[in-house]
Amino acid sequence: MHQAPAAQVTETKIVMSDPTALGVFGLSMVTFVAASQKMGWTTGVTYLIPWALFLGSLAQIWASTIDFRKNNYFGAIVLGAYGLFWVAVGMHWAISLGWFGKVDANADPRQLAFACIGYTIFSLFIMIAAFEANKVFAAILVLINVLLPSIALSILNKGTPLGETSHHFAAWSELLISLLGFYAAGAVFLNSYFGRTLLPLGKPMGWIRKGPAIKPVA
C-alpha cells in the first residue's frame, strides 16, 4: 500500500522596512513647529494641533507598531510612548480652546505639568538605554529630560521669574531636539537606503553590557 506524499507547506515571510526614520521625523517636525511658538516666532497653539496629532502621534505610533512586529524593543517602546504623549498634548490644547464645548470651570491646565513630570521619570529610563543605542539618540534623550521638567516648571510657575527661565530652557531644548532629530532621521534613511554609513550616529557608549533577552514569565 503506497502512502500519499506529504503535502508541502509553503511559508511566506513578510519583510518590513525599518520605520525609525519616519518615527523620528515625526518627532522632529512636531517639536520644530512647537519650538517656533515657545521661541516667540509664532503665536498660539491652534495650528500646532494638526502637527501634534499627525506627525507627533500618528507617525510615531505607526512606526512603533512596525517595530513591535520587527522585535525592535527600543524603537517600539520609545516611539509608542512619545507618540501617545503628543496625542494627549494635542487633546489638551483642543480642550483648552473649547473645541469640545465649554471648558469646565474646575478644569486645571496645570495637570499637564504633572504629566510632563511623569514622562520625565520614564524618560530617564529610556535615556539609559539610549546611551547604548547611539550618541545622537542619547543626546536627544538628554534634551528631552531637560524639556519635560522645564515645561512642568514653566506651567507651575507661570508669571514668575522661575517660570520665564524654565520657558526659555524648554524653548531651546525643544529646538535642539528637532534639529538633532532631523539629522537622525536623515542618517537612518540614507544609511538604510545605501546599506552603509553615510551619516554617522555615533557608537554606543558601552557602559552597560547587554545580556540575552529576558523571556516573559508565563
Specify if 215 maps to a domain. no
Q: Is the pLDDT of residue 210 over 90?
A: no
Specify if 15 maps to a domain. no
Describe the chain by its helix, strand, coil percentages, rounded to 5.
65, 0, 35
- Predicted confidence at residue 6, as pLDDT, reads 61
pTM of the predicted model over 0.75: yes
Specify if 209 maps to a domain. no
Specify if 206 maps to a domain. no
State the cell numbers at 93. 490644547
Q: Is the pLDDT of residue 102 over 80?
A: yes
* Domain extent for 175: 20-100+108-194
Residue-wise pLDDT tens digits, 67-90? 999 999 999 999 999 999 999 999
Specify if 34 maps to a domain. yes
CA distances from 192 to 15, 48, 118, 160, 184 (A): 14, 31, 34, 47, 12
Residue-level length of the chain? 218
Average pLDDT along the chain = 91
| Domain CATH code at residue 149 | 1.25.40
Q: 83 by DSSP, 3-state: which? A: helix
Instruction: Give the number of domains in the chain.
Output: 1
Specify if 87 maps to a domain. yes
Specify burial of residue 149 (Cβ count, 10 A radius: 0-12, 13-18, 19+): buried
Tell me if 120 sits within 8 A of 149, measured CB to CB: yes
Specify if 14 maps to a domain. no
Gap between the Cα atoms of 180 and 142, Å rounded: 12
Specify if 204 maps to a domain. no
Single-letter amino acid code for the residue at 167: H
